[in-house]
Amino acid sequence: MTTVRISDDAVALACGADDVATAFVAAGASVERVSSWGMHWLEPLVEIDGIGFGPASAADVEAILAGSSDKRIGPIAEHPFIVRQQRLTFARAGKTRPLSLDDYVATGGWAGLTRARSLAPQVLIEEVTGSGLRGRGGAGFPAGIKWQTVANAAGARKYVVCNADEGDSGTFADRMLMEGDPFQLIEGMAIAAHAVGAGRGYIYVRSEYPHAIAKLNTAIKLATVQIAPFEIEVRVGAGAYVCGEETSLLNSIEGKRGEVRAKPPLPAIEGLFGCPTVVNNVLTFAAIPHILIEGGAALYDSHGVARSKGTMPVQLAGNIRHGGLYETAFGITLNELVHDIGGGTASGRPVKAVQVGGPLGAYIHPGRFDIPFDYEAYTVADALIGHGGIVVFDDSADMGHMARFAMQFCAAESCGKCTPCRIGSVRGVELIDRIRGQGSAAPDAVSRLPQMHNAAKQAPTREAELQLLEDLCETMKFGSLCALGGFTPYPVLSALKHWPEDFA
Binding site for other proteins (CB under 8 A): 10-11, 13-15, 40-41, 43, 166-172, 175, 207-211, 235-241, 252-259, 273, 315-320, 323-324, 346, 355, 359, 389, 391-394, 397, 402, 405, 409, 413, 415
Burial 372-388 (b: 16+ CB within 10 A, else e): bbbbebbeebebbbbbb
The distance of closest approach from Cβ of residue 228 to other proteins in the complex, given in angstroms and rounded to an integer, is 19
| Whole-number Å distance between alpha carbons of 57 and 43 | 9
Of residues 90 and 300, the one with the C-beta less far from other proteins: 90
| Whole-number Å distance between alpha carbons of 164 and 149 | 22
The distance of closest approach from Cβ of residue 168 to other proteins in the complex, given in angstroms and rounded to an integer, is 7
**SS3 assignment, position 107:** coil
**Who contacts 45 (Cβ-Cβ below 8 Å, separation ≥6)?**
6, 7, 12, 36, 37, 39, 52, 53, 54, 55, 56, 76
Of residues 377 and 392, the one with the C-beta less far from other proteins: 392
Of residues 391 and 483, the one with the C-beta less far from other proteins: 391
The distance of closest approach from Cβ of residue 37 to other proteins in the complex, given in angstroms and rounded to an integer, is 13
The distance of closest approach from Cβ of residue 452 to other proteins in the complex, given in angstroms and rounded to an integer, is 37
Of residues 84 and 448, the one with the C-beta less far from other proteins: 84
The distance of closest approach from Cβ of residue 363 to other proteins in the complex, given in angstroms and rounded to an integer, is 10
Q: List strands edge to edge, sheet with 351-356.
A: 324-329, 311-318, 389-394, 351-356, 363-364
The distance of closest approach from Cβ of residue 13 to other proteins in the complex, given in angstroms and rounded to an integer, is 6
The distance of closest approach from Cβ of residue 389 to other proteins in the complex, given in angstroms and rounded to an integer, is 7
DSSP assignment, residue 451? T
Please give, one letter per residue, the 3-state secondary structure of 157-225: CCEEEEEECCCCCCCCHHHHHHHHCHHHHHHHHHHHHHHHCCCEEEEEECCCCHHHHHHHHHHHHHCHH
The distance of closest approach from Cβ of residue 121 to other proteins in the complex, given in angstroms and rounded to an integer, is 24
Of residues 147 and 172, the one with the C-beta less far from other proteins: 172
Of residues 4 and 392, the one with the C-beta less far from other proteins: 392
The C-alpha angle 109, 185, 320, rounded to 5 degrees, equals 110
Closest CA to 89 of 326, 305, 247: 326
The distance of closest approach from Cβ of residue 41 to other proteins in the complex, given in angstroms and rounded to an integer, is 7
**CA separation (Å) from 118 to 191, 292, 300?**
11, 11, 21
Of residues 60 and 259, the one with the C-beta less far from other proteins: 259
Between the CA atoms of 40, 137, 330 and 45, what dihedral angle is there, to the nearest 10 degrees?
-10
Of residues 10 and 472, the one with the C-beta less far from other proteins: 10
**Alpha helix (H) residue ranges in 197-331:** 210-222, 224-227, 246-253, 282-292, 296-302
Of residues 13 and 334, the one with the C-beta less far from other proteins: 13
